[in-house]
Structure 1
């Protein structure tokens, strides 16, 4: 059983998706479904990566695909609280700069 959890919390002007555990190929479909639903429900999706311990290319692809979907709808996805290996992957791929915080 994969060690991954995605929780969604709707706010008045945004949806916050918190990712925890390990985001890899085994949870690709779950990640895509959660982010797609969030993008459909709000123009701003904040993805909290604080509890995420691992992110591979499947997870990066899911984030970029959601970004493109949000962009096509006039919305935005932003990533907050990446650390450790997750932050390194985002920096190396350039996705951290692409989807950086709204105020930072």
Structure 2
């Protein structure tokens, strides 16, 4: 059983998606479903990576697909709290720069 959880929280004008555990091929479909729903629900999707321990190419692909879907709708996907190896993967692939980050204070609505 995969060690992964994706939770969503709706805010004013945004949806926050918190990813926990390991985001890999085993959870690709779940990630896509959660991000697609979030993109359809709000113009800004904030993906909180603070509790994510592992991110592989499947997870990176899911983030890019969500970014493209949001962009096509005039919206945006942004990241918050990337750290450790997850931040390294986002840096190496350029996805961190592509999506950009928001401060946790802004993500919280402050």
Is 1:87 the equivalent of 2:102? no
Shift of 1:25: 0.1
* Contact in 1 for aligned 2:80/2:102 (Cα 8 Å): no
Q: How many residue pairs were aligned?
A: 103
Residue 29 of structure 2 aligns to a residue in which SS? helix
Gaps of 5+ in 1: none
Deviation at 1:102, TM superposition (A): 4.1
What's the offset of the Cα at 1:101?
1.7
Deviations 1:35-65 (A, max 9, x none): 0000000000000000000000000000000
- Over the aligned positions, Cα root-mean-square deviation in angstroms equals 0.8
